[in-house]
Structure 1
Amino acid sequence: MAQPTQPDPFLEVCRDSDAGAAFVLESKGEWWHAGFHLTTAIVGPTILTLPYVFRGLGWGLGFTCLTVMGFVTFYSYYLMSKVLDHCEKAGRRHIRFRELAADVLGSGWMFYFVIFIQTAINTGVGIGAILLAGECLQIMYSDLYPNGSLKLYEFIAMVTVVMIVLSQLPTFHSLRHINLVSLLLSLGYSFLVVGACINAGFSKNAPPKDYSLESSKSARIFSAFTSISIIAAIFGNGILPEIQLQFLDIGHLEMNRIQTFSRA
């Protein structure tokens, strides 16, 4: 009879003193909370760059690539969820990508490689989100107070303070209300943009429409690669293990973990 899988000692860290683990493991949400988190994790500044996808690839190829990438991305999410569920049933609960990668691919250099990739992506996304939020606040402020004295760096500082405050929330589950508001704002933004575009299209004073690609071959090539890079990241989500853990039966998983250790 095959021996049960032994837990990797590299992964069996003391999670009682792991603030990141406590942040996730103390969360007890429902499936709709996971929907809030998943939507908010996907909908980000990259959504605002979608028009450049169709500008660089055209309507037909742009929609095709976007649809194919959406299918591939969500199917990969499904496969990852199945792997996480399989590891859970085997008594190896993973709450972060780096732990899952170390379990599946080995606990050597792959663990640190994933940490490096995640850190680089999260740093870029965090900085980009703060700068974009600061610019949006400045635009609204300029419309309300054309002669106002506040500068862009002051709005960036305000957003940074808010981000620091939000980072102090005790659990991942504490973000559910904020993510619900974010979901509603994202839906509202989408409906407003679609409605505004339709209204502009039927308006008598609508600007001339030009859906042609760039005339220069080199410009078309660069635009195509830019569009592909946007599509590749448009459905990205770096916290899928944390989201999936929101609505898992933690007590049942702990029992499986204890039984696995006792058999080992």
Structure 2
Amino acid sequence: MKSLDTEHNPSAGNNVDDDGKEKRTGTLMTASAHIITAVIGSGVLSLAWAIAQLGWVAGTVILVTFAIINYYTSTMLADCYRSPDAGTRNYTYMDVVRAYLGGRKVQLCGLAQYGSLVGVTIGFTITASISLVAIGKANCFHDKGHGAKCSVSNYPYMATFGIIQIILSQIPNFHKLSFLSIFAAIMSFSYASIGIGLSIATVASGKVGKTTLTGTVVGVDVNASDKIWKSFQATGDIASSYAYSIVLVEIQDTLRSSPPENKVMKKASLAGVSTTTVFYILCGCIGYAAFGNNAPGDFLTDFGFYEPYWLIDFANACIALHLIAAYQVFAQPIFQFVESKCNKKWPESNFITNEHLMNLPLLGKYRINLFRLVWRTGYVILTTVVAMIFPFFNAILGLIGAVSFWPLTVYFPVEMHISQKNVKQYSLRWIGLQLLVLLCLIVSLLAATGSIVGLITSVKAYKPFHNLD
């Protein structure tokens, strides 16, 4: 029997960091992998749809603009990892806000961050099942023809995804996720590359859709109101598609202290954002060139392509495997938050603090904490059940992303930067930063409005426990 407190024993010599915790081993490569895992999701395959709503000019400009904004604000957040007074570490986004801003803003940050993280884990459960359903449907279409009615239930896949997450959720903390993130990054590159390759093949064949500088045409592709709402939603999708601020501080907390964490994090952010921007532009623009204004919401799971079916199967398998790993990247901060609170409130509880050394087949000796086992298993079961009951939750996730993008990606990093650098009120720099905050607030509000309209449509079409046709 071993208490968690032994991990923080300064007498452990070289195995601890300056804060007494287990020595961090994160590097530029692992941080970049975490960022790519967090940023490049299956949403990259929906960017062709987003470009179709906005057109060549606005779509491309918005993609590049929000890449720059996200990188810029991420460098501000990276500089805030250490507290302004003694340079002590801040382990979570809430800790950073507490150190620089304090007050009610700490609670608002926690609400936005953990609300988003819970939403994302539920959304990943649904998206992974949709990708696995697409494999079954691709095989069905190949055997029976593209016009066949191929109905597949996604509930067994959600249950399987949940069982896998129950096992993976016993990984003790974020520091042990590096291998999963590197694997997930490889998977995301794989399916994004397949999507790009199939789009290039379609363009080369000459069988392309109609594209315009302004995207979908009112009166031809959409009506006037749909054009407005879908443009808002597409802008919000692009803005939030880069947003990894909700896990940036937790990623930075995995880095070794030399060279300085903020310098490594900035390089990792540049590498991550640059890589994802290249893939986003390729997927969005080449996908739009292939499908035109009728681009599907996701050109792999919505069957923009039917053949070669085996390649579609492989790409969708890569999506599911990526989401299995990405779930943990977004769930671990939730696990750590609850466990840290419980450890502080009930430090004498053996159920919460004690760990038991067990010999597991293939894994060897492994430390089991009963509270971690029960609580994390319960969380995974809850998110899986919610995903099963509300299969339209991805529409809700769009709304959560739109609402949380502004405070977590823009407002808090800018406010903390102003506090840290003592930027004078009404100076040119201060005015420029406030204009950036205002612009992104407007984008968030418009995106939220578009998401609400899309959510209403999804709810109207909702059929509980219905197979995916």
What's the TM-score once normalised by structure 2's chain length? 0.45
1:51-92 per-position Cα deviation (integer Å, ceiling 9, x unaligned): 22211111111110110111010110011111224x277232
Provide structure 2 residue ranges, at least 5 long, that are not aligned to the other structure: 8-18, 145-149, 262-469
* C-alpha deviation, 1:229, in angstroms: 0.9
Query: What does residue 56 of structure 2 align with?
Result: 59
Which amino acid is 1:97 matched to?
A: Y
Cα distance change, pair 109–89 in 1 and its aligned pair in 2 (3 A): closer
Query: What does residue 3 of structure 1 align with?
Result: none
Query: What does residue 93 of structure 2 align with?
Result: 97
Instruction: Report if aligned partners of 2:66, 2:238 keep a CA contact under 8 Å in 1.
Output: yes
Following superposition of structure 1 onto structure 2, how do residues 102-181 of structure 1 map, counting pairs within 5 Å?
A: 102-106=98-102, 108-144=103-139, 151-181=153-183
Which amino acid is 1:90 matched to?
A: A
Following superposition of structure 1 onto structure 2, how do residues 1-264 of structure 1 map, counting pairs within 5 Å?
A: 16=5, 27-85=24-82, 87=83, 90-106=86-102, 108-144=103-139, 151-204=153-206, 206-211=207-212, 212-215=215-218, 216-237=223-244, 238-249=246-257
Instruction: Report if aligned partners of 2:50, 2:234 keep a CA contact under 8 Å in 1.
Output: yes
Q: Distance in 1 between matches of 2:126 and 2:23?
A: 31
Instruction: Report if aligned partners of 2:94, 2:110 keep a CA contact under 8 Å in 1.
Output: yes
Cα distance change, pair 170–88 in 1 and its aligned pair in 2 (3 A): farther
Instruction: Report if aligned partners of 1:45, 1:129 keep a CA contact under 8 Å in 2.
Output: no
Q: Distance in 2 between matches of 1:150 and 1:53?
A: 27
Instruction: Report if aligned partners of 1:33, 1:176 keep a CA contact under 8 Å in 2.
Output: yes
* C-alpha deviation, 1:155, in angstroms: 0.4
Q: Distance in 1 between matches of 2:256 and 2:122?
A: 32
Instruction: Report if aligned partners of 1:26, 1:171 keep a CA contact under 8 Å in 2.
Output: no
Task: Tell me the secondary structure at the aligned position of residue 247 of structure 1.
Answer: coil
Task: Tell me the secondary structure at the aligned position of residue 246 of structure 1.
Answer: coil
Which amino acid is 2:70 matched to?
A: T
Q: Distance in 1 between matches of 2:252 and 2:129?
A: 31
Which amino acid is 1:73 matched to?
A: N
Cα distance change, pair 112–246 in 1 and its aligned pair in 2 (3 A): same
Which amino acid is 1:177 matched to?
A: F
Give me the identity figure in percent. Answer: 23
Cα distance change, pair 213–143 in 1 and its aligned pair in 2 (3 A): closer
* C-alpha deviation, 1:133, in angstroms: 0.3
Instruction: Report if aligned partners of 1:55, 1:213 keep a CA contact under 8 Å in 2.
Output: yes
Indicate the structure whose relative CO is greater, using CA pairs within 8 Å and at least 6 residues apart.
Answer: 1
Q: Distance in 2 between matches of 1:207 and 1:248?
A: 49
Provide structure 1 residue ranges, at least 5 long, that are not aligned to the other structure: 1-14, 254-264
Task: Tell me the secondary structure at the aligned position of residue 81 of structure 2.
Answer: helix
Which amino acid is 1:245 matched to?
A: D
Instruction: Report if aligned partners of 2:45, 2:195 keep a CA contact under 8 Å in 1.
Output: no
* C-alpha deviation, 1:119, in angstroms: 2.1
Cα distance change, pair 50–195 in 1 and its aligned pair in 2 (3 A): same
Cα distance change, pair 210–129 in 1 and its aligned pair in 2 (3 A): same
* C-alpha deviation, 1:194, in angstroms: 1.4
* C-alpha deviation, 1:27, in angstroms: 4.2
Instruction: Report if aligned partners of 2:23, 2:256 keep a CA contact under 8 Å in 1.
Output: no
Instruction: Report if aligned partners of 2:137, 2:151 keep a CA contact under 8 Å in 1.
Output: no
Which amino acid is 2:133 matched to?
A: Q
Instruction: Report if aligned partners of 1:101, 1:114 keep a CA contact under 8 Å in 2.
Output: yes
* C-alpha deviation, 1:97, in angstroms: 0.5
Task: Tell me the secondary structure at the aligned position of residue 187 of structure 1.
Answer: helix
Q: Distance in 2 between matches of 1:228 and 1:81?
A: 26
Q: Distance in 1 between matches of 2:165 and 2:100?
A: 33
Task: Tell me the secondary structure at the aligned position of residue 91 of structure 2.
Answer: coil
Which amino acid is 1:135 matched to?
A: I
Instruction: Report if aligned partners of 2:126, 2:158 keep a CA contact under 8 Å in 1.
Output: yes
